[in-house]
């Protein structure tokens, strides 16, 4: 689902090989599943994966785009294009945040390009911008453990 997350923009069509060759993107899934990685997957009625939301702790030595600190996991989410805009992302987001709460995680971060429709979803679910860049924001949700 990292490919779907990266290719949210219809005119962006980066192949898996290109994404995985980019260390700034690949570190979101490389070596999955580490002991503190967790996430959820959405399946269609035929049990085909149509989306995923996952959390990974990254460090200051290898930060993600939405890095805020070593003790705050970064959320990544991808939904296949045919299922976008149908509520799959909201269900995944809520399930991922519930899983984080169950693990005692007090806050979650992410990075989202401002033009991405998902930015509105994150705002509506309690994320707030904490740092802004040219075309993207780092956001944090205090989810309470």
**pLDDT tens-digit series, residues 35-45:** 999 999 999 99
| CATH number of the domain encompassing residue 29 | 3.40.630.30
Evaluate if residue 17 carries a pLDDT over 80: yes
- Give the domain extent around 90: 2-142
61-93 core/surface letters (b: 16 or more CB in 10 A; e: else): eeebbbbbeeebbbbbbbbbeeebeeebbeebb
* Stronger pLDDT, 16 or 107, i.e. the higher one: 107
Mind listing the pLDDT tens digit for each residue in 78-105?
999 888 888 999 999 999 999 999 999 9
Q: How many domains does the chain have?
A: 1
């Amino acid at each position: 689902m990292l490919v779907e997350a990266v290719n949210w923009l219809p005119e962006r069509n980066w192949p898996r090989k290109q994404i995985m060759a980019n260390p700034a993107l690949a570190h979101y899934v490389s070596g999955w599943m580490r002991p503190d990685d967790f996430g959820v997957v959405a399946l269609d009625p035929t049990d085909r994966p149509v989306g995923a939301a996952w959390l990974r702790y990254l460090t200051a030595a290898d930060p993600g785009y939405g890095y805020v600190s070593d003790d705050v996991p970064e959320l990544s989410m991808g939904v296949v294009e045919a299922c976008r805009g149908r509520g799959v992302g909201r269900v995944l987001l809520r399930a991922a945040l519930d899983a984080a709460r169950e693990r005692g995680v007090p806050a979650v971060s992410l990075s989202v390009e401002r033009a991405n429709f998902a930015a509105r979803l994150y705002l509506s679910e309690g994320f707030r911008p904490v740092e802004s860049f040219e075309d993207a924001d780092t956001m944090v949700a205090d989810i309470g453990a």
